Amino acid sequence: MSGFVEKPEPVQVPGLVHLHTGKVRDLYRDGDGNLVMVASDRISAFDWVLPTGIPDKGRVLTQLSLWWFDQLADLVPNHVIGTGLPAGAPADWEGRTLVCKDLEMVPVECVARGYLTGSGLAEYRQTRTVCGLALPEGLVDGSELPAPIFTPAAKAEVGEHDENVSYEEVARTTGAETAALLRRTTLDVYGRARDIARERGIILADTKFEFGFDRDGTLVAADEVLTPDSSRFWPADLWEPGRAQPSFDKQFVRDWLSSPASGWDPKGELPPPALPQDVVEQTRAKYVEAYERLTGLSWS
């Protein structure tokens, strides 16, 4: 069993129709037919959306995505129409709300990997492949790959794992032309972001994108991009292949939940407990540090 420990009730705003409550974001439609996406402070781990939020997390994700959209504008357009609050929206939505185009979403998580870890490492250990792509012998956790690879995944519902799929499966699902466009765009964007992050002392190990098509058939970047929720960012000066790398994300949350201190079994069926304050504060600090190091801006 997994999913929400406590699924929140959607905020009711006059003129907005609530469409979906996700792991982090709440989605609405406004009177003009645009989507209104609100990033909450919810955090998930081990396929559970936890009962404890991380203060400012939703704002960090939103503001970092906006910064990255600007860096990538010449490579791929994005879905953002504006950042103003809809009339009647709560003040807490400030800084975490995007008004977006309603796209025809591609039913694929577009993942780029430049380093071997996570589910890619698990598959490699079994077959020496990732999503059917053959890799050299001798790679370990954290190894840099000979070249970045496109390793798509099928989208999963809240509480379920995304499932890695082959490029051929994407081509069958979306058509060969779209599959080629997704692969090319994903790797182009990853390459740009990897170089920007590297200049700031950060390794972009892997990342996932969501894309959709505008009414004129243009491929558009949607949802969030290159945040600690959608990417693995590692401090370059601490990179050491052969072990798990320290990262700018919810590492503190996962570590605490899997430790004896939590009293919880990640493989069991009981929901996870609330997070202690020190874990919340350390996790918030990592999200803010990622924002500040990548953008060069002060969060406060």
Residue 129 tokens, joined: 């492949």
**Binning pLDDT at 50, 70 and 90, where does residue 159 land?**
very low
pLDDT tens per residue across span 62-77? 999 999 999 999 999 9
pLDDT of residue 300: 77
pLDDT tens per residue across span 18-28? 999 999 999 99
Please give the share of the chain, as a percent, with pLDDT higher than 90. Answer: 90
Residue 54 tokens, joined: 């991380």
pLDDT tens per residue across span 263-298? 999 999 899 999 999 999 999 999 999 999 999 999
Average pLDDT over residues 92-114: 97
Residue 143 pLDDT greater than 50, yes or no: yes
More confident residue, 297 or 161: 297
pLDDT of residue 2: 64
pLDDT of residue 44: 94
Task: Note whether 3-100 and 104-235 share their fold.
Answer: no
Residue 251 pLDDT greater than 90, yes or no: no
pLDDT tens per residue across span 199-222? 999 999 999 999 999 999 999 999
Residue 106 pLDDT greater than 90, yes or no: yes
Residue 1 pLDDT greater than 60, yes or no: no
Rounded Cα gap, residues 103 and 213, in angstroms: 5
Q: Which fold, 104-235?
A: D-amino Acid Aminotransferase; Chain A, domain 1 (3.30.470)
Residue 160 pLDDT greater than 60, yes or no: no
**Mean pLDDT for the chain overall:** 95
Average pLDDT over residues 225-230: 96
Residue 9 tokens, joined: 């009730």
**Binning pLDDT at 50, 70 and 90, where does residue 96 land?**
very high
Query: CATH top-level class for 3-100?
Result: alpha beta
Give residue 71's identity as a one-letter amino acid code: Q
pLDDT tens per residue across span 34-56? 999 999 999 999 989 999 999 99
Would you kindly state where each structural domain of the chain is located, as residue ranges?
3-100, 104-235
Q: Which of 33-42, 60-69, 190-199, 248-257 has the lowest mean pLDDT?
A: 248-257
Residue 118: Cβ-neighbour burial (10 angstroms; 0-12, 13-18, 19+): middle
**Binning pLDDT at 50, 70 and 90, where does residue 253 land?**
very high
Strands (E), 56-201: 80-82, 97-100, 104-105, 110-115, 129-130, 133-134, 144-150, 153-154, 163-164
Residue 144 pLDDT greater than 60, yes or no: yes
